[in-house]
């Protein structure tokens, strides 16, 4: 009963977004209040997670991140690498646990329970565009890796990231940032009291040309309005968001174009008319109620996304006259509702949380693939109207059996319906699929402030709805096989988390992850397709050390081995699978009016072809910031990117292309350069 009252007290007094941890708080010991109230970047997770790979990044650490673009905020998750192959505006490339996740496949990302991944997308399954993210509003980010949670579902086999926006700001913010390459950004945000609650508003305006020969001319506007009442555990919020962006693209270029003088430098481009425009509008709401022995949560959302994307990866290989540029417009309305209820029970000294939840989502999509020249349509390859509906239901049970042993068991069922009305009758129709996903986690300890974890589970990702019905390739007109709607993953993991050494938090994990079918990127179509079955072995470690009152050091490292599980004379390496990644960062504060950070990121090599005969080179990036407070309400900050000015690749591919004047296609490494050293200065006024 003492633990129950303590957990309820925490839920009542904290007007912070820690509520997602509350179902576990009643299972923790009496020191839990002290641990939860700690600075969010170093809060102890002993007793609060079911795996060594799971965690929470607090607002303080998120604020300390030096990010070139908003999507890089996900690099606060140990082992995650965020890259880009197309300048600004386009969705990022993501890497985690031996995956090249392309634009988001198998990395589930949500903001305030709204899905960011877009399924059956024109350019890639699970498209994750985070350009609408305003970092200053991010109160925390919860993350998990592997298919060991019944609550996450589609796209979460490699990992998941759940970002929560604040409902109240400690102070209103006005900031202006200027930098090289015509970078300019302004932000105004506040949360005054309004009616019986709080009204949060934020407006962000930004432009950036980037360092490329053809300026990105990236322009965007972001706006957020939120009304909230109550607290994070007992209250509600209603939120409206708006994002609009437009840009030019400098896509990856072939190495031979530099060697033969076709391009003057590595920041040049082949097709100067690539680019795009996007917008996202959303309405959402979250309601929570927490009592002594139960908790309820309901969230709903309606999202309008639109993308017009123009790309040219093969130049003049398919059409020597007009070139190979193609357009992939995507327009969709996504609606959904999530609901869950948790019961907390006490029986014979054992505390159990039982959660029953459901997740309903519907996507109404119009997209296509068109051949274009300088963004003008030449012909239609395919155009489709897609309706995709899914319902996921899960049961999750967490029990503390005694002082040193607790368990989590989950069971999830997902059912999908696909409907495609295409311009070819043979590629139209209806399909459905369903899948069961059990999971189990055993947690032993803590002993000497150390816990041990055993995790097992099945997960899945959905395939593009068009792939479940396509029998004729729309480009070659050859017969093709249908793909399953849902593809299973199988995971096994051993982990440890320890705080045995004073001021040091460490976690270690070794895992195996199998996929029945790997999603792989297809360069000439600019999309993904279901590929061969795969297996990954990996090891991860993460450390946070509070060296002094003013200095903290973080070090994360991961290695993965990814191979296809079937035989093919072409080879067994998974193309693009990252092998090793690492980050080392140092953050300092409380040095009078000074604070700052340095972060070194290592992005390891990848096999670019199945037999591993062509490989990418590793890259290393050093970013940093330093800030000075003139007063409690006025701060000046200098940010620097690629401080060592390395001429590495941000990303590499290997495929065939044909330049203007070449008589045949040639296989080559195509790369997007890491942006050269640059600086930005930001003035922040709080009031």
pLDDT for the residue numbered 17? 34
Cβ–Cβ under 8 Å, residues 550 and 588: yes
By C-alpha distance, which of 381, 383, 391, 350 is closest to 367? 383
Hey, what are 107's tokens?
């990395």
Residue 586 has phi, psi (to 5 degrees) of -130, 130
Per-residue model confidence (pLDDT) at position 452: 98
pLDDT value of position 447: 95
Six token digits for residue 648 = 């590495």
Instruction: Give every residue of the chain whose pLDDT is below 70, as ranges.
Output: 1-42, 520-528
Residue 118, CA atoms < 13 Å, CB-side half-sphere: 27
The domain in which residue 376 lies consists of 2-686
8 Å CB contact between 169 and 190? yes
- Report d(CA 637, CA 401) in Å as an integer: 50
Sign of CA dihedral 68, 671, 98, 435: positive
CA 428 to chain CA centroid, Å, is: 31
pLDDT at 32: 39
Domain of residue 296, CATH code:
2.40.170.20
Cis peptide before 446 (omega within 30 of 0): yes
In angstroms, the CA 428 to CA 241 distance is 34
What's the confidence (pLDDT) of residue 519? Answer: 72
Q: Give residue-wise pLDDT tens across range 255-304.
A: 999 999 999 999 999 999 999 999 999 999 999 999 989 999 999 999 99
φ, ψ of residue 514 in degrees (nearest 5): -110, 145
pLDDT reported for residue 518: 85
CB-based contact 82:71 (threshold 8 Å): yes
CA dihedral 517, 254, 92, 363 (to 10 degrees): -50
pLDDT of residue 220: 97
Tell me the C-alpha distance between 551 and 548, whole Å.
Answer: 5
- Please report the pLDDT score of residue 525 as a whole number: 56
pLDDT at 531: 82
- Following DSSP, what letter does each residue of 11-49 receive, concatenated? HHH--SSGGGGHHHHTTS-TTHHHHHHS-TTT---TTT-
Q: Nearest 5°: CA angle at 135, between 133 and 137? A: 95
Q: Domain total for the chain?
A: 1
């Amino acid at each position: 009963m003492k633990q129950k009252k303590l957990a309820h007290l925490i839920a009542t007094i904290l007007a912070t977004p820690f509520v997602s941890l509350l179902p576990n708080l009643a299972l923790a010991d009496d020191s839990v209040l002290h641990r939860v109230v700690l600075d969010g970047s170093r809060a102890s997770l002993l007793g609060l997670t079911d795996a060594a790979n799971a965690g929470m990044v607090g607002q303080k650490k998120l604020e300390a991140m030096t990010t070139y673009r908003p999507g890089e905020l996900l690099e606060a998750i140990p082992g995650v690498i965020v890259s880009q192959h197309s300048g600004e505006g386009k969705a990022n490339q993501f890497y985690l646990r031996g995956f090249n996740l392309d634009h988001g496949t198998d990395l589930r990302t949500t903001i305030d329970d709204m899905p960011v991944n877009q399924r059956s997308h024109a350019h890639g399954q699970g498209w994750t565009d985070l350009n609408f993210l305003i970092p200053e509003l991010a109160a925390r980010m919860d993350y998990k890796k592997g298919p060991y949670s019944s609550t996450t579902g589609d796209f979460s086999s490699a990992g998941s990231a759940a970002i929560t926006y604040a409902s109240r700001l400690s102070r209103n913010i006005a900031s202006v940032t200027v930098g090289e390459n015509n970078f300019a950004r302004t932000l105004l945000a506040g949360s005054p009291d309004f009616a019986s609650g709080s009204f949060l508003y934020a407006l962000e305006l930004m432009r950036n040309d980037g360092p490329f020969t053809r300026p990105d001319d990236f322009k965007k506007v972001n706006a957020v309005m939120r009304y909230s009442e109550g607290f994070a555990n007992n209250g509600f919020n209603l939120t409206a968001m708006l994002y609009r962006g437009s840009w030019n693209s400098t896509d990856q270029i072939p190495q031979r174009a530099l060697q033969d003088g076709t391009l003057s430098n590595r920041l040049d481009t082949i097709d100067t008319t690539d680019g795009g425009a996007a917008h996202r509008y959303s309405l959402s709401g979250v309601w929570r109620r927490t009592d002594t022995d139960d908790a309820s949560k309901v969230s709903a959302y309606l999202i309008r996304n639109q993308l017009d994307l123009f790309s040219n990866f093969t130049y003049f290989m398919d059409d020597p006259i007009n070139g190979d540029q193609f357009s992939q417009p995507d327009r969709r309305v996504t609606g959904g509702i999530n609901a869950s209820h948790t019961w907390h029970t006490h029986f014979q000294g054992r505390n159990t949380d039982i959660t029953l939840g459901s997740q309903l989502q519907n996507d109404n999509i119009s997209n296509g693939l068109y051949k274009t020249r300088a963004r003008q349509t030449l012909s239609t390859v395919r155009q489709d109207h897609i309706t995709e509906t899914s319902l996921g239901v899960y049961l999750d049970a967490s029990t503390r059996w005694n002082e040193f042993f607790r368990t989590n068991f989950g069971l999830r069922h997902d059912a999908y319906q696909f409907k495609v009305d295409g311009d070819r009758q043979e590629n139209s129709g209806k399909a459905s699929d369903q899948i069961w996903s059990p999971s189990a986690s055993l947690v032993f300890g803590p002993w000497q402030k150390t816990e041990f974890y055993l995790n097992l589970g099945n997960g899945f990702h959905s395939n593009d709805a068009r792939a479940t019905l396509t029998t004729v390739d729309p480009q070659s007109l050859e017969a093709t096989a249908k793909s399953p709607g849902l593809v299973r993953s199988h995971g096994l993991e051993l982990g440890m988390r320890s705080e045995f050494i004073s001021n040091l938090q460490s976690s270690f994990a070794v895992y195996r992850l199998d996929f029945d079918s790997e999603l792989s990127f297809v360069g000439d179509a600019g999309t993904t397709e279901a590929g061969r079955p795969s297996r990954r072995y990996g090891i991860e470690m993460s450390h946070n050390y509070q060296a002094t009152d003013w200095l903290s050091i973080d070090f994360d490292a991961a290695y993965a081995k990814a191979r296809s599980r079937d035989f093919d004379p072409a080879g067994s390496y998974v193309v693009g699978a990252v092998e090793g990644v690492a980050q080392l960062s140092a953050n300092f504060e409380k040095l009078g009016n000074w604070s700052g950070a340095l972060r070194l990121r290592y992005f390891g090599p990848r096999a670019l072809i199945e037999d591993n005969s062509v490989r990418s080179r590793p890259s290393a990036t050093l970013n940093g910031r330093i800030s000075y407070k003139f007063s409690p309400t006025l701060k000046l900050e200098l940010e620097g990117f690629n401080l060592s000015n390395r001429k590495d690749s941000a990303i590499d591919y290997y495929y065939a292309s044909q330049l203007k004047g070449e008589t045949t296609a040639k296989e080559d490494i195509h790369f997007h350069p890491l942006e050269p050293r640059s600086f930005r200065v930001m003035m922040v006024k709080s009031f």
